[in-house]
Structure 1
Amino acid sequence: MQNDTPRLGRSGLYILLAGQLLPLIDFSIINVALDPIAKALGANQAQLELVVAVYGVAFAVCLAMGSRLGDRLGRRRVFGWGVALFGIASLLCGLSSSVPLMLAARMLQGVGAALIVPQILAMIHVTLKGREHSRALALYGGVGGLAFVIGQVLGGLLVTLNIGGLGWRNVFFINLPICVIVLWNMRKALPETLAPRASRIDWPGTILLSLVILCLLVPLSVGPVHHWPWESIVPLLFVPVFGWALWRVEQRQERRALQDEASRAPLEPAAVLLNHVGAKLSPFPMPLLPPSLLRVGSVRFALLLGILFFCCWSGFMFAMALFLQVGVGMSALQSGNSFIALGTAYFASAMLTARMVERFGKLPTLLCACALQIVGLVALIFTLVHTWPHLTLWAMVPASILIGFAQAFIVSNFFRIGLSEIPMHLAGGGSAMLSTLQQAAFALGATLLGGVFAQALHSSNGQYLHAIVATLIAETILVAILLACTVRYLRQAPTTTGAASSGPVVTPME
């Protein structure tokens, strides 16, 4: 990196962290507003699942695009575009009078989030070094845990206070002052950085990935509610077709991009270009999902880990929010407060992950976290069954602490394991792949476990306890599968289990 590389000051870091809060809070804040949204817009459960999922789908599909736009056009500039788009989309969400309008606005929110998030870690990575860099990344991880708690509690509080008679709409309007503050201060606080050579956007891969996710997402949302009509089954048949096309396109994109790179002279030593219209473009885009990375064992295992765990996480949040508000009859504030113990345990655990991995290794730590997650889920099922119908917030605290504590270890090891065997020159593509899968799994989780919840509710003639227990059992089975896969991978890769193998973590989207 050149000596004149700009340095990110403390005020700039705070601006980035404020921008980080926007997409993270919006992932969780909407869960406690689902019941009033359903009543106001006349939404059924399938539509509620889509309201949650379409945000994650847009986020996932556009994440790599957002990273490459920042590399090419300037990270501060694209960060500002993302914040502005997120604010406009939040306003449209709050003004929505129908489900289609809400879905369109949520999709725009996801696109805005995909423009924001990659720039945060990229700017931290290129403008800070040493202790300042480590401290900034620790704050980044801590804010992620706090955003989870803030979203749940703040959402419940805003719905309950009913400020200005706006009710659930305030969970979206609260984003507007944050966006204004960030946009007002970002030009002075944030330096502009670009990549020395940026890759073009992989539009064919982006479009095909969108088709794969949508053909899977929409039928799984609508099918259980409408008893699987043929219109819900046909799109599922296209999933393998689009998946195969995606694989072939990404192979071709990667082969052409690598051939182009091999034919070029070495780059100049500059790592960041300043005061430049844009970064130098490679004629061929790097693939959205590089196929060569799938030959790396740790990447394949991390993809399996991400699909199973993040589907479980988002599905758990969606189903529990519906159960507590509609089934138990809790207010939005009570529902939000029920997640405080889980989120606090997550934050505390996140502060311990690096030390535990350094001492025991990635895979043993992950193994223990999966086992603890299963114990927490079983404890929650036991609590719900034996306190029904007089469930209280305090009764759920012990199980919630176990679940939250385990989740932080699983999340941190997802990126540690996935990036542990990837060469540094492919770290950007690898982290983009993992982050894309993470957001896609978040979107699919509400649909998959939401479908289990809806099917169980229908088969039990509206018994919400039966529905949530069936959902939690399904989640426990998925985590048990993950535990078994971890044991198998641990036996196959014994050299990666020791403390010395924990290694440095390449943060997502660096």
Structure 2
Amino acid sequence: MTRTLTGAGLTVLLLATLLPMMDSFIVNVALPTIADDLRTDGGDLELVVAGYVLAFTAFLVLGGRLGDTYGRRRVLLLGLAGFTVASALCAFAVSGPWLVAARVLQGATAALIPPQVLGTISAATPEDRRPRAMSLYTAVAGLAAVLGLVLGGLLVHADLWGTSWRLIFLVNLPLGLLALALVPVLIPDTRSTNPAGIDLPGTALLTLGITALLLALNRGPVAGWPWWTIALLIAVPILVILLWRTEKRAATPLLPPTVLTEPTVRGGLLLVAPFLAAWAGYLFALPLTLQHGFGLDPLQAGLLVAPMPLTFLAGSFALPALRRRLGNGVLGAGALVQAVGVAALLAAVLAGTPVWTVLPCLVLIGLGQALVIGSSQIAILGAVPTAYAGVGGGVLITTQQGSMAIGVAGIGSVYLAFVGLGHAGAFAVVLGIQLVVALLVAGAGRRVLG
């Protein structure tokens, strides 16, 4: 009989969730400092962020299958150990390529963690406590990205023992070791009674497709679109077709067509993908603009964005009550709230108003993000057939993370291409893209989700 997950055990699982989710964007505020210290170009800076998210995306579903087969606690420990070692490698990087490679390793090991957390909560939490546990997981996972911006600024500014930006990775070492010590004591061991096989061809094709698109978008604008970047772009739709055909024939597909052909699931993923891509591009450009464009130091930049995680958290907790009144209409309303915040921020940037006057804009942007992401997750997972519940969660997280990787590479390249206009001008272009996407999602949300 499976041991019940206690409150202390849930706290450890939430800590384990926070580490990999927060590291997706904790580096963003430190990017200018990293560029100066390692003498890296804009393309390498994008890969420091996107390389992590790419590896995280590619191995998420595989991580879930490994936990189902070999035991979730064992795979969780493996993921935490690998993540901690990779964090140390990041901290001691002496060049841009070293840091990018270490970030890819960090992302790949981080991908082993969330599936075990979700699986353990589902398998070892009593049914009456499970909704609260899942809501806490969703709040922590959603809060992590914007919280990373704040914490990154604080750590770079602290510069303890002259560590500068390296502290954002060194902080993972004691937290990772603490989690490694507590998991064997507090986390029950669970596994699937009927584990699905591992879809290696599907995993390989998904990884190749995202990598081809990311590298083309990352290196194309920097290198003047040489032939190999065009070839990578041409290869992407071919790889997508091969992936679809492979998944239709696979006994245990990575991305089951049965799930993807359900209208609400397909429509929800098509809405959330561009929304998260625009969000990731915004999170990449925002700290660079605040520091290079407005002259803020990392601490000031981190404190300026602090309203976003606070309102994201408030929106997450308000979501159940809002959904009782508006249903899936919350998604469109959230996108509209964010569109208002983005439009106001764009106007402030173009008008050259004092930087601190943008705080209300950031409040609206964070609130809108919480409503869209939370509502889309509920709608998508609620439409997944019960038999595919676990796989549906993997498909959702894979889509979310993959969209953010592509957003950093694509919109990040747009930002760097327009930086000749000044960082504020380049940021205005990014905000224009985000505004268009938010308005499209606001308009399509009700029609797609019903």
Query: Which of 23, 27, 33 in structure 1 is aligned with 2:24?
Result: 27
Q: So what's the TM-score if we normalise by structure 1? A: 0.86
1:130 and 1:293 mapped to 2: Cα distance?
25
Q: State yes or no: 1:361 paired with 2:327.
A: yes
2:144 and 2:200 mapped to 1: Cα distance?
32
Aligned to 1:432: 394
Paired letter, 1:342:
M
**How many angstroms does 1:138 deviate by?**
2.7
Query: Which of 280, 287, 300 in structure 1 is aligned with 2:253?
Result: 287
Aligned to 1:397: 359
**How many angstroms does 1:141 deviate by?**
2.7
Aligned to 2:171: 174
- Structure 1 residues 437 and 145, CA, compared in 2 at 3 Å: closer, same or farther? closer
2:224 and 2:305 mapped to 1: Cα distance?
32
Q: State yes or no: 1:370 paired with 2:335.
A: yes
Q: State yes or no: 1:165 paired with 2:130.
A: no
Paired letter, 1:209:
L
Structure 1 residue runs of 4+, over 4 Å off?
none
Paired letter, 2:323:
V
Identical aligned residues as a percent: 38
1:144 and 1:114 mapped to 2: Cα distance?
13
C-alpha RMSD of matched pairs (Å): 1.4
Query: Which of 277, 295, 315 in structure 2 is aligned with 1:349?
Result: 315
Q: State yes or no: 1:135 paired with 2:138.
A: no
Conserved in 2, the CA contact under 8 Å of 1:298 and 1:419?
no
Query: Which of 234, 239, 246 in structure 2 is aligned with 1:237?
Result: 234
**How many angstroms does 1:487 deviate by?**
4.4
Q: Secondary structure at 1:420's aligned position in 2? A: helix
The structure whose residues are more often helix, as a share, is 2
1:421-450, Cα deviation, whole Å (9 max, x unpaired): 222111122221111111101111111211
Q: Secondary structure at 1:28's aligned position in 2? A: coil
Q: So what's the TM-score if we normalise by structure 2? A: 0.97
Q: State yes or no: 1:36 paired with 2:1.
A: no
Q: State yes or no: 1:321 paired with 2:287.
A: yes
1:71-108, Cα deviation, whole Å (9 max, x unpaired): 11110110000000000000000011112211111111
Aligned to 1:380: 345
Paired letter, 1:470:
V
Paired letter, 1:67:
G
Aligned to 1:312: 278
**How many angstroms does 1:151 deviate by?**
1.8
Q: State yes or no: 1:340 paired with 2:306.
A: yes
**How many angstroms does 1:248 deviate by?**
0.9
- Structure 1 residues 419 and 144, CA, compared in 2 at 3 Å: closer, same or farther? closer
**How many angstroms does 1:345 deviate by?**
0.6
1:431 and 1:133 mapped to 2: Cα distance?
16
1:308-331, Cα deviation, whole Å (9 max, x unpaired): 111011111001111111222211
Conserved in 2, the CA contact under 8 Å of 1:149 and 1:344?
no
1:151 and 1:370 mapped to 2: Cα distance?
22
Aligned to 1:266: none
Aligned to 1:481: 440
Aligned to 1:73: 70
**How many angstroms does 1:186 deviate by?**
1.3
**How many angstroms does 1:124 deviate by?**
0.9
Unaligned runs of 5+ in 1: 258-285, 494-510
Matches within 5 A, 1:108-147: 108-147=105-144
Q: Secondary structure at 1:289's aligned position in 2? A: coil
